[in-house]
Structure 1
Amino acid sequence: MSAGERFTVALIGASGLLGRAVANELASAASTQPWRVVRTARSRADAASVKLDLLDHDAVRAFLGEVAPDAIVVAAAERRPDICENDPALARALNVDALNVIATEARALGAWVLSISTDYVFDGTSPPYLPDDAPAPLNAYGQSKLDGERALLASDPRSCVLRLPLLYGPFTGWNESAVTSLTPAIVKSADAANPPASMDAWATRYPTFTPDVAVVIRGMLEQHAKGATISGIAQWSGDEPMTKFDIAERIARALNVDAKLIAQRTPTDATPRPRDCHLDSGRLEALGIGRRTPFDIAIGGLLANCPDVSSQ
């Protein structure tokens, strides 16, 4: 880019858990970066975003043709494993077919695509996983995201997939993240009249703070804007291993509640989940891209500003 030239980013899925964090990070950089960000949302579109349904392929093509972005960040997806397992057609429509449409249009426009994927493309038996390790998803969600990765990179090898693990961050409802969704049960268990809360102590997760991921994505966009495009597969992950039982204990400490928790040592999920999919972040770290906020600091800040959970 030449000095003063405008760089346009289409942020697809700007109203979601990750999309909001990316939108905020890019807005904070507006004074130092010559870019404009065009946000899209489906059910939660507002005055600052364009309403866009990814299942409407003609609308997606029209939007991209009108905006003519230099870069497209795809933060929208069907990310709920149980929903994907029960409705694989919907998972494919959002995680594969829509991404394929975006990739095809992006290639025609010369736009770089950065699409978000998941650690669930792996089976969790041989961590840590490098970007080029062989995927082996255990469920429909992981398979749909893997198929989306392959569709994108086959369409344009210059594009990039960013794999991420369990996300948490500023939220609009407890269930936006599998981390914050534990909170109401934790608080309820502290009441002597209620039974203990059962928490998974089998699968190891790496909770990753969405504002940190937003810093990563900003860094990747900056690389592209200066002609040092990151292509292929990249990964980013928090570095603190925890089970949901561990997460629950730390949430209880942050809330200063005496929770009664039971460690569940055998998986009970109807949808199969991998045991440990720790992602190696070395590729981005070597470029000086990334930030990690300690979990206790991040969750403490989130819960200090949360609504009263006792009424949930």
Structure 2
Amino acid sequence: MFKVAVAGASGLLGRALVRELAAGTDWQVVSTAFSRVGAGQVPLDVRDARAVDAFVAGEAPDAIVIAAAERRPDVCEHDPAAARALNVDAVRSIAAAARRRGAWVLSISTDYVFDGAHPPYRPDAAPNPLNAYGRSKLEGERALLDATDNALVLRLPLLYGPIVDWQESAVTSLVPAIRASARADAAPAVMDAWATRYPTFTPDVAFVIRELLTRWADGNAVCGIAQWSGDEPMTKYDIAQRIARALGIEAQLVAQTAPTDATPRPRDCHLDSGRLEALGIGRRTPFDAGIRAVLDAFMRDGATP
């Protein structure tokens, strides 16, 4: 039976992928986690090269998906060594172990490898990251592709999807401030209206990854670099307006039209998804439908904004 290992299965994308594989395939899926190890998951610190070697040798997966990463730009900026350990060194260790096993590897990367000055960006566009996060992810891409030819870097933009807390995504992290701004005595919530993002639904990404895994299982592996992105351009101000509508509240929102983040961020890193589209791979859920599903499910389970 085809066997897939998902490293970082407790995170936002990892959970969506495990659900997609469980629902859409009869493959054997081995899920690993580090800080939030759930039922049926294998504890694994992907920064520990020996532990990675032992895991791959023992489980013998046919394919490995690396969803573990340090994705917070401010954290990466303040501790680039820790970011590099997870975003670069761990990828290299997994790739080396996979090469010895003959397994295909898919590693998640980011639109932040680009500077945002000349979108849209094709996979072969020259990277120019503006911050430590983007630099670490670009170095991780190179570490993967230098370690094995049997691998794919999948670049993704801003992600949102089913969550365990509001802060899991930069999209849903806006909800508490949006909700608070609707109170009569509250100050408006200031939202960035400078940078354009392309929020992408994690169940759609999971579907894309399943299709890529299917191609590998069928002997038609996609290797090198590919990209997938939602196609609705929005600033965080736009996102906040649509979240407020989904919540049915009259939020007080103010557009911030100049960049204010301490960590530099690119203005518009729109990823060209043409390589996967040409292969007939892809799915896009409209943002309004996706965010409504996320909010409804999270609040139905007892959360309060």
Q: TM-score, normalised by structure 1?
A: 0.96
Aligned mates of 2:303, 2:52 — CA distance in 1 = 42
Q: Post-superposition shift, 1:157? A: 2.1
CA contact (8 A) 1:22 1:214 kept: yes
Q: Post-superposition shift, 1:58? A: 1.1
CA contact (8 A) 2:162 2:297 kept: no
* Partner deviation per Cα, 1:159-213 (whole Å, 9 max, x = no partner): 1000000000000000000000000100100001110000000000000000000
Aligned residue for 1:263?
255
Q: Post-superposition shift, 1:44? A: 1.0
Question: Does 1:23 pair with 2:51?
Answer: no
Match for 2:2: what amino acid? F
Question: Does 1:74 pair with 2:69?
Answer: no
DSSP-derived class of the 1:194 partner: coil
2:6 to 5, 11, 14: 11
Identity between Structure 1 and Structure 2 (%): 67
Q: Which ranges of structure 1 fall in alignment gaps of 5 or more residues? A: 1-5
Aligned mates of 1:261, 1:186 — CA distance in 2 = 8
CA contact (8 A) 1:53 1:59 kept: yes
CA contact (8 A) 1:188 1:310 kept: no
Q: Post-superposition shift, 1:311? A: 5.5
Aligned residue for 1:3?
none
Aligned residue for 1:227?
219
CA contact (8 A) 1:131 1:234 kept: yes
Q: Post-superposition shift, 1:303? A: 1.2
**How is 1:1-312 mapped onto 2 (pairs within 5 angstroms)?**
6-30=1-25, 33=26, 35-307=27-299, 312=305
Aligned mates of 1:310, 1:235 — CA distance in 2 = 33
Point out the more displaced range, 235-244 or 52-61. Answer: 52-61
* Partner deviation per Cα, 1:56-98 (whole Å, 9 max, x = no partner): 2211111011011110000000000000000000010000001
Q: Post-superposition shift, 1:310? A: 9.3
Aligned mates of 1:47, 1:61 — CA distance in 2 = 23
Q: Which ranges of structure 2 fall in alignment gaps of 5 or more residues? A: none
Match for 2:188: what amino acid? P
DSSP-derived class of the 1:132 partner: coil
Match for 1:21: what amino acid? A
DSSP-derived class of the 1:307 partner: helix
C-alpha RMSD of matched pairs (Å): 1.2
CA contact (8 A) 1:152 1:159 kept: yes
Aligned mates of 2:256, 2:32 — CA distance in 1 = 40
Aligned mates of 1:171, 1:158 — CA distance in 2 = 32
Q: 1:152 to 1:256 in 2, by over 3 A?
A: same
DSSP-derived class of the 2:298 partner: coil
Aligned mates of 1:56, 1:199 — CA distance in 2 = 39
